[in-house]
Protein backbone atom coordinates (compact mmCIF):
# COMPACT_ATOMS: atom_id res chain seq x y z
CA UNK A 1 0.00 0.00 0.00
CA UNK A 2 1.18 3.51 -0.84
CA UNK A 3 -0.20 6.76 0.51
CA UNK A 4 0.64 9.95 -1.32
CA UNK A 5 0.37 13.54 -0.21
CA UNK A 6 0.86 16.26 -2.81
CA UNK A 7 1.50 19.91 -2.01
CA UNK A 8 2.35 22.76 -4.35
CA UNK A 9 4.29 25.73 -2.96
CA UNK A 10 6.22 28.51 -4.67
CA UNK A 11 6.56 26.63 -7.95
CA UNK A 12 7.63 23.34 -6.35
CA UNK A 13 5.53 20.17 -6.20
CA UNK A 14 6.14 18.22 -3.01
CA UNK A 15 5.34 14.51 -3.19
CA UNK A 16 5.39 12.76 0.18
CA UNK A 17 5.30 8.98 -0.02
CA UNK A 18 4.33 6.63 2.79
CA UNK A 19 4.37 2.87 2.36
CA UNK A 20 5.69 0.74 -0.48
CA UNK A 21 6.63 2.01 -3.94
CA UNK A 22 6.49 -1.06 -6.16
CA UNK A 23 5.08 -2.41 -9.40
CA UNK A 24 1.82 -2.98 -7.50
CA UNK A 25 1.46 0.61 -6.23
CA UNK A 26 2.91 2.72 -9.03
CA UNK A 27 -0.12 2.96 -11.32
CA UNK A 28 -2.17 5.40 -9.26
CA UNK A 29 0.83 7.55 -8.38
CA UNK A 30 1.94 7.51 -12.01
CA UNK A 31 -1.44 8.78 -13.20
CA UNK A 32 -1.50 11.62 -10.63
CA UNK A 33 2.06 12.83 -11.09
CA UNK A 34 2.28 12.52 -14.88
CA UNK A 35 -1.00 14.43 -15.30
CA UNK A 36 0.24 17.28 -13.10
CA UNK A 37 3.62 17.44 -14.83
CA UNK A 38 2.10 17.43 -18.30
CA UNK A 39 -0.90 19.69 -17.62
CA UNK A 40 0.98 22.28 -15.60
CA UNK A 41 4.42 21.90 -17.23
CA UNK A 42 5.75 21.24 -13.74
CA UNK A 43 9.49 21.79 -13.50
CA UNK A 44 10.61 21.30 -9.92
CA UNK A 45 9.57 18.33 -7.79
CA UNK A 46 10.65 17.12 -4.36
CA UNK A 47 10.04 13.49 -3.46
CA UNK A 48 10.08 13.03 0.31
CA UNK A 49 10.69 9.32 0.83
CA UNK A 50 11.30 9.45 4.57
CA UNK A 51 8.25 7.23 5.23
CA UNK A 52 8.81 4.92 2.29
CA UNK A 53 9.35 1.47 3.77
CA UNK A 54 10.22 -0.38 0.60
CA UNK A 55 11.01 0.27 -3.05
CA UNK A 56 11.55 -2.17 -5.89
CA UNK A 57 13.14 -1.81 -9.33
CA UNK A 58 9.89 -0.50 -10.87
CA UNK A 59 9.67 2.13 -8.13
CA UNK A 60 13.23 3.22 -8.77
CA UNK A 61 12.53 3.39 -12.51
CA UNK A 62 9.44 5.49 -11.81
CA UNK A 63 11.50 8.03 -9.85
CA UNK A 64 14.04 8.16 -12.66
CA UNK A 65 11.25 8.67 -15.21
CA UNK A 66 9.96 11.64 -13.22
CA UNK A 67 13.52 13.00 -13.18
CA UNK A 68 13.55 12.78 -17.00
CA UNK A 69 10.25 14.67 -17.23
CA UNK A 70 11.54 17.42 -14.91
CA UNK A 71 14.71 17.68 -16.97
CA UNK A 72 12.65 17.93 -20.18
CA UNK A 73 10.74 20.83 -18.60
CA UNK A 74 14.06 22.45 -17.59
CA UNK A 75 13.53 21.66 -13.93
CA UNK A 76 15.01 19.60 -11.13
CA UNK A 77 13.93 16.54 -9.16
CA UNK A 78 15.07 16.37 -5.55
CA UNK A 79 14.94 13.45 -3.11
CA UNK A 80 14.85 13.99 0.62
CA UNK A 81 14.39 11.76 3.63
CA UNK A 82 16.56 8.99 2.21
CA UNK A 83 17.23 6.27 4.76
CA UNK A 84 20.47 4.29 4.66
CA UNK A 85 18.68 1.24 3.19
CA UNK A 86 17.07 3.35 0.46
CA UNK A 87 20.38 5.03 -0.25
CA UNK A 88 22.01 1.65 -0.89
CA UNK A 89 19.30 0.67 -3.38
CA UNK A 90 19.37 4.04 -5.12
CA UNK A 91 23.17 4.02 -5.38
CA UNK A 92 23.17 0.46 -6.69
CA UNK A 93 20.83 1.57 -9.48
CA UNK A 94 22.84 4.78 -10.02
CA UNK A 95 19.82 6.99 -9.45
CA UNK A 96 21.76 9.31 -7.16
CA UNK A 97 24.20 10.00 -10.01
CA UNK A 98 21.41 12.06 -11.60
CA UNK A 99 18.96 13.08 -8.90
CA UNK A 100 19.94 15.63 -6.28
CA UNK A 101 19.69 14.44 -2.68
CA UNK A 102 18.74 17.13 -0.16
CA UNK A 103 18.39 17.08 3.62
CA UNK A 104 14.98 18.75 3.85
CA UNK A 105 12.15 19.89 1.62
CA UNK A 106 12.89 23.53 2.40
CA UNK A 107 16.41 23.20 1.03
CA UNK A 108 14.86 22.92 -2.45
CA UNK A 109 13.77 26.57 -2.27
CA UNK A 110 17.38 27.66 -1.69
CA UNK A 111 18.75 25.50 -4.49
CA UNK A 112 16.29 26.68 -7.14
CA UNK A 113 16.34 30.21 -5.74
CA UNK A 114 12.62 30.62 -5.17
Decide if 81 is inside a domain: yes
Exposure string of 66-105, with b = 16+ CB inside 10 Å and e = fewer, is bbebbeebebbbbbbbbeeebeebbeeeebeeebeebeeb
Decide if 28 is inside a domain: yes
Q: Number of folded domains in the chain?
A: 1
Q: Report pLDDT digits (tens) over 83-102.
A: 888 888 888 888 788 898 99
Q: Domain with 21 in it: what CATH number?
A: 3.30.750.24
Threshold 0.85, pTM exceeds: yes
Per-residue pLDDT of the chain (114 residues; tens, 9 = 90+): 899 999 998 889 999 999 999 999 998 888 889 888 888 888 999 999 999 999 999 999 999 999 999 999 999 999 999 988 888 888 888 878 889 899 999 888 888 875
Decide if 113 is inside a domain: no
* CA–CA gap between residue 96 and residue 102 (Å, rounded): 11
pLDDT of residue 74: 92
Amino acid sequence: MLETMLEYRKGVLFVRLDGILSKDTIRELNEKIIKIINDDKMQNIVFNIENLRQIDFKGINFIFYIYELCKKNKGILFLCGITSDMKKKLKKNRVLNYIKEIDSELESFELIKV
